[in-house]
């Protein structure tokens, strides 16, 4: 637990709350560091805390009964982890893996559910976030099915860059392969192609985004569509 004063509240779900609601809410949070690779919750496990990332970010991963796994969503400073509690269910549907180290605001689950009752603006905002997530899940479903690895990789890098807030991403091909549900060798080929086009540069576990507009063009429209929906539904009112 560290002091709140160090880090500005950059979580976009909390940033625009009315001052009174936000103060009460923040006072009930503590700030924690998320370590890369940390597993915050396993599927069917109990959600003990909610997390509002500040500069860390989290991959939400579906695990099938045959143990195939695929990243289905990401939660960074635009979102939160533990959204199921808004629906009154404290069982985690997905695995949550810290993908970018950094800080997050954390609150105990029971306290969160209580506070929600007296925070109408936050509550409404989280419901809208849930709506966006459902859409993104649906879109990802089709995207993963139809689009090629290179375009999906481009999309994924853009999503990660947004949440990392940096053009340098700590990512190995191996890790990317897990996220996209493809072979490591498949990522290597796609990465080579993106690098040859001057869109990224990478070297031993670090990928640098060189040409963001170019990367957007190389990605499928799903990246832009997701962003547009988020902006529309969660615009500051």
Partner DNA sequence: TGCCGTCGGCACGCTAGCGTACATAACTCG
Partner DNA sequence: CGAGTTATGTACGCTAGCGTGCCGACGGCA
| Of residues 178-207, those binding its own copies (CB under 8 A) | 181
Strands (E) located in the chain: 30-34, 39-41, 49-53, 57-63, 69-75, 95-100, 102-108, 168-170, 200-203, 206-209
CB atoms within 10 A of CB 206: 12
Question: In Å, what is the CA distance from 57 to each residue of 16, 45, 195?
Answer: 20, 20, 25
* Closer residue to its own copies (CB): 25 or 223: 223
- Toward DNA, which CB reaches closer, 129 or 202? 202
Binding mask 139-178 for DNA (x = CB under 7 A): ---------xxx---------------------xxx----
Q: How far is the CB of 56 from its own copies (least distance, A)?
A: 22
Closer CB to its own copies, 63 or 193, in the complex: 63
Q: Which stretch binds its own copies (CB under 8 A): 8-16, 21-29, 188-196, 219-227?
A: 219-227
**Residue 37 burial class via C-beta count within 10 angstroms: exposed 0-12, middle 13-18, buried 19 and up:** exposed
The first and second tokens of residue 221, run together, are 């429209």
Q: Please provide the DSSP assignment of 20-35 as one string.
A: HHHHHHHHT-EEEEEP
Q: Which of 15, 35, 110, 138 binds its own copies (CB under 8 A)?
A: 138
100, 76 contact by CB (below 8 A): yes
Q: Tell me whether residue 130 is exposed, middle or buried, using C-beta atoms within 10 angstroms of its C-beta: 0 to 12, 13 to 18, 19 or more.
A: middle
Residue 138 binds: one of its own copies, DNA, none (C-beta under 5 to 8 A by kind) = its own copies
Residue 131, number of CB atoms within 10 A of its CB: 13
| Residue 185 touches DNA, criterion: CB under 7 A | yes
Q: Which residue has the tokens 């988020």?
A: 230
The 10 Å Cβ neighbour count of residue 180 is: 19
Q: Is 2 in the site for its own copies (CB under 8 A)?
A: no
Interface map 64-83 toward DNA (x if CB under 7 A): --------------------
Size, binding site for its own copies by CB under 8 A: 42
Q: Which residues bind its own copies (CB under 8 A)?
A: 60, 62-66, 68-70, 72-73, 84, 87-89, 93-94, 124, 127-128, 130-131, 133-135, 137-146, 181, 220-222, 224-225, 233
Site of interaction with DNA (CB under 7 A): 148-150, 172-174, 181-186, 188-189, 191-192, 202-205
């Amino acid at each position: 637990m560290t002091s709140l004063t160090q880090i500005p509240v950059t979580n976009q779900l909390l940033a625009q709350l009315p001052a009174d609601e936000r103060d009460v809410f923040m006072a009930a949070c503590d700030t924690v560091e998320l370590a890369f690779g940390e597993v915050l919750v396993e599927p069917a496990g109990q959600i003990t805390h909610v997390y509002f990332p500040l500069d860390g970010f989290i991959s939400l991963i579906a695990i099938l009964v045959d143990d195939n796994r695929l990243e289905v969503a990401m939660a960074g400073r635009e979102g939160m982890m533990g959204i199921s509690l808004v629906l009154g269910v404290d069982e985690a549907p997905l695995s949550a893996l810290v993908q970018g180290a950094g800080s997050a605001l954390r609150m105990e689950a029971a306290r969160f559910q209580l506070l929600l009752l007296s925070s109408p603006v936050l509550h409404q905002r989280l419901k809208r976030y849930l709506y966006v997530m459902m859409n993104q899940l649906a879109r990802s479903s089709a995207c993963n099915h139809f689009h090629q690895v290179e375009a999906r990789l481009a999309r994924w890098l853009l999503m990660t860059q947004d949440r990392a807030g940096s053009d340098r991403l700590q990512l190995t091909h191996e890790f990317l392969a897990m996220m996209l549900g493809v072979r490591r060798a498949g990522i290597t080929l796609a990465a080579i192609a993106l690098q040859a086009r001057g869109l990224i540069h990478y070297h031993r576990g670090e990928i640098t985004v060189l040409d963001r507009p170019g990367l957007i063009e190389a990605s499928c429209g799903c990246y832009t569509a997701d962003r547009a929906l988020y902006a529309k539904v969660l615009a500051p009112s």
